[in-house]
Each structure stands twice: as structure tokens, then as C-alpha cells.
Amino acid sequence: MSKLTKIVLACCLLLCLTVVGFVPAITKDNTALEKAAETDLGYTREEVKSALLNYERTGEAGAVVQSVLLPSSLGISTPNLNTDKVLNETPLKEYGNREEYYENLLAHGYDDSDMENLPYWQYEQLSANWLLDQSTRDLLASTYPELTDRDLSQWTIGMYRQFIEQSEEELLMACFTTEQQAALEERGISSADFGQLLLVYGQPETILAQSDETLKTVLEDWYQTKLTLTLGADWRVSARKT
């Protein structure tokens, strides 16, 4: 999911929570977060393209495909790519706030003359092991009252990212009643697509009012958009050349 999509989805979630008046209880402990943060970072674009092309040819889903594909809805054949599992290979030098990245790396003992060419995914990998600064810990404690009695001094950036990701997922699912979730899943709509449909239609009731054919068209376009933006419009052709 792109940063823009996450921001828009967060706004939808806040609106939803305002309506239903629900605040989820966050009870994840440090051990669970540390374990969750150890999951694989993902794969390069070339690895993903080759794996998807082979999957289309043979129907055999290897480790890469199993990691990067989300469950599809309504029998859609277009791959439902989990963009978070495709490594961001953009070098740090192409970011507007690149100096901040360089300073952070130097402050944590990474001194490499070629650091400007470090791909962003490697920066994420390195920074995941850094401890949160005081301002971030204070923000967490003030935003999530459940954390006020927790020792955040040993939380790493990786644990923080995992906590936020899981919290956002809980907020999303809280927008749907158990009955609404069951109704959507019974129609063949994966929970992995609830967030995108909420972005498009604003509220669960409006989603449920759409026909399967309408939702299928919306989601198929979304799947294709993710593939194009992440792997390129010609990803099948370029995969054959490698």
C-alpha cells in the first residue's frame, strides 16, 4: 500500500471511528512485536516479476509468490500484489530529505562514502534496529493510552512500524461489524481488500449495496494499478528478458 493510500485510508478510519465511537485496545507485548518485526522485508522488483511470470506459466506458487500475493476477491485472475513486499530500490540521493537520512546513518555508526546510493529498503533494514527517540516514544504514549505503563525505552523503529501496521489493521476491521465482514466474505471478497473498498465507497453499507460485478471491476482495476505502479506496465515483457 502506497503512503498516499495509507494517509487517505487513515482519514477514512478516523471518520469511521467517529461514527461508531470505537477505540481498539492495543495489547501487543514487546516479545510479539519483536518476533513480528523479524519477518522478511520482501523481494526486488526483478525477483517478483520473474516469480509472477513463472506462476502464470506453470501455476506453481513458490516462496516469492506466496509472500508477495494477497488473496484475490471474486475470482479475479489479475495478481493482487502486496506492494509492501516489493523492496523500494530508490537510492537515498533521490529523496528530498536525503540529508536527514545521511545524518541518521552517521549518527548510528554507518559511515560509507557511497551511502547516497544506498537503496531505501536497506536504509529501512538498518533503521529497524535503532531505538526510538524520546519524542517518538512520547508521541506513542500520548496517542495510545494503553502504552503509558509500558517501557518503550527498548522499542526499536522496527517494533514501532509493526505496532502501527497492526494498529491500523485493527482500526480498519473495527469499521466493519462482524455481520458486515461475514456478508462481504460470503460474497467472495477477501478481507485484504476491505481497505481499498472503504477508500472508494466511504462506508461498509455503501460497499454492500454494490453488485458483485461493480466491485469486481473496481478491485480488478486496483490490482492492475498496483502492478503497473510497482513493477511497470510492461513487467511481463521485462521479466522475460532477465
**Model confidence pLDDT, tens digit, residues 101-114:** 999 999 999 989 99
Domain ranges of the chain: 1-37+149-175
Report pTM.
0.81
Q: Which three cell numbers stand for residue 240?
A: 522475460
- 79, 52 in Cβ contact below 8 A? yes
- 197, 209 in Cβ contact below 8 A? no
| pLDDT confidence tier of residue 148, bands split at 50, 70 and 90 | confident
**Model confidence pLDDT, tens digit, residues 48-68:** 999 999 999 999 999 999 999
CA distance 22 to 27: 16
Which phi-psi region, left, alpha or beta, contains residue 147 (left: φ > 0; alpha: ψ -120 to 50)? alpha
- 79, 227 in Cβ contact below 8 A? yes
Residue with the larger pLDDT of the pair 175 and 40: 175
CA distance 148 to 134: 14
